[in-house]
Amino acid sequence: MENQNDATGKRIGMWLFLYTEIMLFGGLFVLYAVYFNSYKDDFIAGGKDLDTLFGIINTVILLISSFAVAASITAIRRKSKKLSLVFVISAVICGLVFLVNKYFEWGHKIEVGIYPNSDLLIDGEPGRNIFFGLYYTVTGLHGLHIVIGLTLLVISAFFISGNRITHQNDTLLENSGLYWHLVDLIWIFIFPLFYLIL
């Protein structure tokens, strides 16, 4: 088929898909905006309950992983298969560390009784319930996207080692990288909205 080698077309398709992902999270951000408007004080209090240190570490981890993905694309374009593989795998490791952090963070919150429909939230301020409801929904959905992104990166790693992604044919790696940057970008918005409100 003639479009097998049309990298631009494949990129267009990926960008369109990323656009739908932004709209998906956009719906949640609309909810956040409206509820922040109605429950400002509860949101600020809720933000103080979250562990900012965890948030900062995770932000840094994701930024590093995004750099690694970008570097791996540059590496493959300079025909350095080994270096590219190293970068992709380190990005995957960063992603896994992020998920482990998230696991401990959620685990801690659940331990102190903050989870959807918990007695603490139901009996407390309604705004607080909404804040943590949004927190679990948004970070949960984001976590799911991390898992999808990791899957794509792992597939890319296999393709690099099997020489199916080369300097002439790097679209899959580039598209996986684009996806990973998007996941990173969404986190850049989630982090201040939940951890840094005042």
Partner 1 sequence: MEQTKSFFETPAPPNFKGVLSWLITTDHKRIGLLYLYTITFWFILAVLLGLLIRTELMFIGPTLVEADGYNALFTLHGVIMIFLFIIPAIPAIFGNFILPIQIGAKDVFFPRLNLLSWYLYIIGGIFALVSLFGDGLADTGWTFYVPFSVGTQTNVSYAATAAFILGFSSMLTAINFITTIHRLRTGNMKWLQIPLFTWSLYATGWVQLLATPIISITLVLVVLERVLQTGMFDPSKGGDPILYQHLFWMYSHPAVYIMILPGMGVISEIIPVFSKKSIFGYKAIVFSSLAIAVAGSLVWAHHMYTSGMSDTAVFVFSLLTFVVAIPSAVKVFSWVSTMYKGSIWLGPPLVYAMCFVYLFSVGGLTGLVLASAGTNIHVHDTYFVVAHFHYVMFGGTGFAFFAGLHYWWPKFFGRMYNMKSAYISAGMITGGFLFHFTPMFVLGMQGMPRRYYDYLPQFEQGNFLAGFGAYVMVAGILLMFYNLLRSLKKGEVATSDPWGGVTLEWSISSPPSLHNFETEPQPPEYPYDFARVIGRLRGK
The contact set with partner 1 (CB under 8 A) reads 1-3, 6, 8-9, 12-13, 16-17, 19-21, 23-28, 30-31, 34-35, 38-39, 116-117, 122, 125-130, 133-134, 136-137, 141
Q: What does the alpha-carbon distance between residue 56 and residue 65 come to, in Å, rounded to a whole number? A: 14
Q: By C-beta, is 33 or 56 nearer to partner 1?
A: 33
Q: By C-beta, is 19 or 104 nearer to partner 1?
A: 19
Alpha-carbon torsion 13, 17, 20, 26, what sign?
negative
User: Smallest gap, in angstroms, from Cβ of residue 21 to partner 1?
Assistant: 7
Question: Nearest-CA neighbor of 99 among 135, 152, 148, 58?
Answer: 58
Q: By C-beta, is 81 or 102 nearer to partner 1?
A: 102
Q: By C-beta, is 1 or 53 nearer to partner 1?
A: 1
User: Smallest gap, in angstroms, from Cβ of residue 116 to partner 1?
Assistant: 4
User: Smallest gap, in angstroms, from Cβ of residue 62 to partner 1?
Assistant: 22
Three-class DSSP category at 79: coil
Enter the tokens of residue 195.
């951890």
Judge whether 191 and 86 are in contact, CB under 8 Å.
Answer: no
User: Smallest gap, in angstroms, from Cβ of residue 155 to partner 1?
Assistant: 15
User: Smallest gap, in angstroms, from Cβ of residue 94 to partner 1?
Assistant: 27
Residue 177 corresponds to which amino acid? G
Q: By C-beta, is 28 or 97 nearer to partner 1?
A: 28
Q: By C-beta, is 38 or 74 nearer to partner 1?
A: 38
Residue 41 corresponds to which amino acid? D
User: Smallest gap, in angstroms, from Cβ of residue 82 to partner 1?
Assistant: 31
Residue 34 corresponds to which amino acid? V
Judge whether 95 and 152 are in contact, CB under 8 Å.
Answer: no
The number of CA neighbours under 13 Å toward the Cβ of 27 is 7
Question: Nearest-CA neighbor of 174 among 20, 23, 24, 9?
Answer: 9
